[in-house]
Amino acid sequence: MTEGAVDARDARTVVEWLTGRHVSFRRALFGARGASLDPAAAALGADDVLFAPVGVPVETVARVIRYDGAFDDVGDVLHVAGHAVELQHYAAAAYVELLGPTAMRFLDADGWRAFLADADLARESGVFTAPLTDTRLRLADADVLRAPFDVAPPSALHLHADGRVTAGAQGAAVGGAADVGAVLATPRPLWTALAGIVDPDELARGLVTRPWLGRFLGAASLAASFAASLGEDAGEIDGFGWTAPSAPEGDAVVRVDDPFLVRTTGGVLLIDLRTRRRQRLADATVTVVSTLQSSSDPSRAAARLARAQRLSLADARRLCAEATDVLGVRTGLPSSMNADAGNVIAPDARATEAARPGGGKRQASAVVGGGE
């Protein structure tokens, strides 16, 4: 569904803006039709991007990408960079007829809960649902889920027609048009980009109790990308319906970008989404890789491996080092990091809630460590 000349650079920028994974630019500001753009546009730099409505004059040093249409409600269509991109609710995207490129947003608590239900299903059974495996669909703000507790200045802002500025289209209110310069310089937790769609404590519980959500998105991408090449032998992905053998007493979660172990009828593959490299591993190597990924540091990994496989500590260290140097596998992130983040997110979430319309009337409870 294409209209007009396609600008490849702008089209790539649109995808990066939608997913939140900026590569070709630094920051993005989407100016809704009817918004006063100039105060906000003046705060942008030459390596930033401004999405501005067709026909609306604006003065800025940023790269301006013109759009027509709207992109706020279900069914809205954004005409940009020679493409027409439709907006759908996450919970409904798998059930509507797709006519072309489509972006999904959570939009509300129901969308967020549907996403978590799909993530839990994949975690338990290895089944990945259509919203995340259909290549015509893009999950908006997906990059936030890779490291939601990281703190940094926002890289995407949404300027609404009423003058409000939010941390992305689904995020918390962070100021007005005249505040954009200060907003762009103020570090905030990345989860702020999702704090406008659901009660902050519910958002916190979903994130804290599922430190593997970023990994889940990578696994879904792997399932979609490699199903065609592997066919019926598409396999089972470690951490999602299947757990690779490793030494006992792991204390870490696998890093988001680390290679995946995939069990097929022909053996276990190590698949790196960053390099698209696939390697078939011996059973002993699978155990080394899984032990390393589930350990918080190399010394612990070597000690676990030595005990479980009855190796000398020197041999275990050598095997772990080879897995890192040759296979690109790293130690994981300490499981305690997410629990610590939960202790911080509660007061931050309450402050965010108070800033939402009517938020001051609700009392946010402390974040609990249990599941949904």
The predicted structure's pLDDT at residue 338: 62
pLDDT band at 94 (very low <50, low <70, confident <90, very high): confident
Say if residue 349's pLDDT is above 60: no
Q: What is the pLDDT of residues 226-235, one digit of tens each?
A: 765 655 556 8
Token pair 């941390």 is found at: 167
Q: What is the mean pLDDT of residues 137-150?
A: 94
How many other C-beta atoms are found inside a 10 Å radius of the C-beta of residue 266?
A: 10
Q: 171 and 158 in contact (C-beta within 8 Å)?
A: yes
Distance CA 308, CA 250 (A): 12
When mean pLDDT is compared over 97-106, 290-299, 336-345, the highest value belongs to 290-299
The predicted structure's pLDDT at residue 336: 77
pLDDT band at 60 (very low <50, low <70, confident <90, very high): very high
pLDDT band at 98 (very low <50, low <70, confident <90, very high): confident
- Average pLDDT score over the chain: 88
% of residues, the chain, pLDDT over 90: 77
The predicted structure's pLDDT at residue 347: 53
Q: Which residues of 77-105 are buried (b: 16+ CB within 10 A; e: fewer)?
A: bbbbbebbbbbbbbbebbeeeeeebbbbb
Distance CA 248, CA 352 (A): 40
Q: What is the pLDDT of residues 264-294, one digit of tens each?
A: 988 999 999 999 899 999 999 999 999 999 9
pLDDT band at 342 (very low <50, low <70, confident <90, very high): low
Say if residue 126's pLDDT is above 90: yes
Distance CA 63, CA 43 (A): 13
Q: Which residues of 117-129 are buried (b: 16+ CB within 10 A; e: fewer)?
A: ebbeebbeebebb
Q: What is the pLDDT of residues 176-202, one digit of tens each?
A: 999 999 999 999 999 999 999 999 899
Distance CA 235, CA 231 (A): 9
Q: What is the pLDDT of residues 17-30, one digit of tens each?
A: 999 999 999 999 99
Q: What is the mean pLDDT of residues 292-310?
A: 97
Which phi and psi (to 5°) does residue 43 adopt? -85, -5
Q: What is the pLDDT of residues 100-122, one digit of tens each?
A: 889 999 999 999 999 999 999 99
Say if residue 367's pLDDT is above 50: no
